[in-house]
Amino acid sequence: MTELLYLDSRARRRLAYRHRPGRGPAILFLPGYMSDMEGSKAAALDSWAAAEGKAMIRFDYGGCGSSCGEFEAQDLDLWLGDVLAVIDELAQGPVVLVGSSMGGWLMLLAAMARPLRVAGLVGIAAAPDFTRWGFSEEQKARIRREGRLAEPSPYGEAPYVTTRAFWESGERRVVLGREIPIDCPVRLLHGQADSDVPWRISLDLAERLRSADVQTILVKDGDHRLSRPQDIALLTATLTALMEPM
């Protein structure tokens, strides 16, 4: 395992990261909501990068994992700033962003903000605009009224918390519903048994992307995490093919 390091970014946020040197473009893994760089997909991808001699960076957003800050003080704008800080201050040369769930939303925003640095995108159950379609009207009203929504999480003991600040920042950053000005190659992996992010979101996203080099791969029995051995094999095969001409 690579050493745990800290980036004291120009945005004055102390971000934990692990950097594996190797051939570029560097793979930058973007975790999902309430996740971190030690998750099973990130760890498996790092092991693959080590075996293949590829450069990889994984990190924790502010308020998550080993990074500094309080989780409920974060929002999508701050986390996008963290992604851009890692691209600007850690990565050298082009990067390929691999975004899981909410990380798939952030990869789109980062690619639009840094078009000359982002060489490719791989989404894993990408969840752009989930503040819009992922909550009922009753839940949205409660977030606005009470300032937060806490619900049981199927992935751990800690409740799944959404703050009004995060929800409002997401509403300011929606991307679906119009052309998305991204021109690099994009690969979208999505399980059709995903109970959290409807797989048709990836079809909608593929249609909206301006890039002509977009492929959507549906896994009929795949769940939201896509972390089984066969799912990891699909991810690494997809990355291999995507990065071969780079």
189, containing H or E segment: strand 186-191
Q: In the annotation, is 231 catalytic? A: no
Q: Name the catalytic one among 35, 100, 101, 227.
A: 101
Q: In the annotation, is 190 catalytic? A: no
DSSP alpha helices (H): ranges in 90-228?
Answer: 102-113, 130-133, 137-146, 164-172, 200-208
- Is 110 in contact with 84 (CB distance < 8 Å)? yes
Residue 178, classified by CB atoms within 10 Å of its CB into exposed (0-12), middle (13-18) or buried (19+), is exposed
Q: Name the catalytic one among 46, 67, 75, 224.
A: 224
Q: In the annotation, is 194 catalytic? A: yes
Q: Name the catalytic one among 194, 202, 227, 231.
A: 194
Among candidates 175, 144, 178, which has minimal Cα distance to 162?
144
Active site residues: 101, 194, 224
